[in-house]
Chains A and B, each alone.
Chain A
Amino acid sequence: MTFFLTSSPIDVDAVEGDIRATDPGAVISFQVVVRPDRTPRGEVTGLFYDPHRELAEAEWALIASEIAERWPGAKAVAQHGVGVVPVGQTSFLLIVSCPSGSDAFQACQYALDQVKSRVPIWKKDLYADGSSAWCTEHRETLLISDSVMTLPPS
């Protein structure tokens, strides 16, 4: 079984090879590769991914099963990096196979949309000066509030 979350570099060829070995027909591969974006805080040197592990794995398992139900013969495999992923490396890999090419495209788009909306993984920009900032959906950086919460007695 391939786990969705991985702290190792994603081996795209190996994952795709496993899919191709099943003689699937159409195979669509989608990757997110970390870019050296320029932001007001400086150039991004990498991203730090922090998931809710249990929910992320559970949601991906559900999404994969939904794809198998909605598109007969379809199979979806995905891996997502956890921790630091440097610029140039793949942080997310999604491969969808299907006997029909059009179904494969639809299933891939479905998988991508569902992963984005349902899988709780947060990312943080890492900068060359050692600082970092959480990203929101629109890549705005959130400033940490001066008002630190008071923790309850344990």
Chain B
Amino acid sequence: MLTLRFFAQLADRAQTSECACPWAPTARRVLEAKSLWLGLISPGVKVAVNNRWSDWDSPLTDGDIVDFMPPWSLL
């Protein structure tokens, strides 16, 4: 299993900030597994795995925490 975390607007769209899902080989494949998530696959959305920057196509391991982050506007 994987733990998915969605931040800011993505959390609103998911109606949760965190959920579990079956293992998939990459973050891209995680979202591709659900058609309604396809819209979230965007170059502007950043991915982190286990609190480290990652990317859409890096391999995932069972138990990973995968974060999906929309663009931010800090200041």
Binding site for B on A (CB under 8 A): 32, 50, 52, 54-55, 58, 80, 91-92, 112, 115-116, 119-124, 134-139, 142, 144-145, 147-154
Measured CA separation A55–B51 after assembly (Å)? 6
Please report which residues of chain B, range 7-39, place their CB below 8 angstroms from some CB of chain A when the two chains form the complex: 7-9, 12-16, 19-22, 33-34, 36-37, 39
Total contacting residues, chain B, CB less than 8 A: 31
Looking at A55, A92, A148, A149, the one whose CB has the most chain B CB atoms below 10 A away is: A149
Question: Given contacts A52-B48, A122-B8, is CB(A92)–CB(B13) below 8 Å?
Answer: no
Q: Which residues of B contact A (CB under 8 A)?
A: 7-9, 12-16, 19-22, 33-34, 36-37, 39-40, 46, 48, 51-53, 67, 69-75
A121 contacts across to B, CB distance below 8 A: 72, 74
Quick one: which of B12, B33, B40, B71 contacts A136, CB cutoff 8 A?
Answer: B71
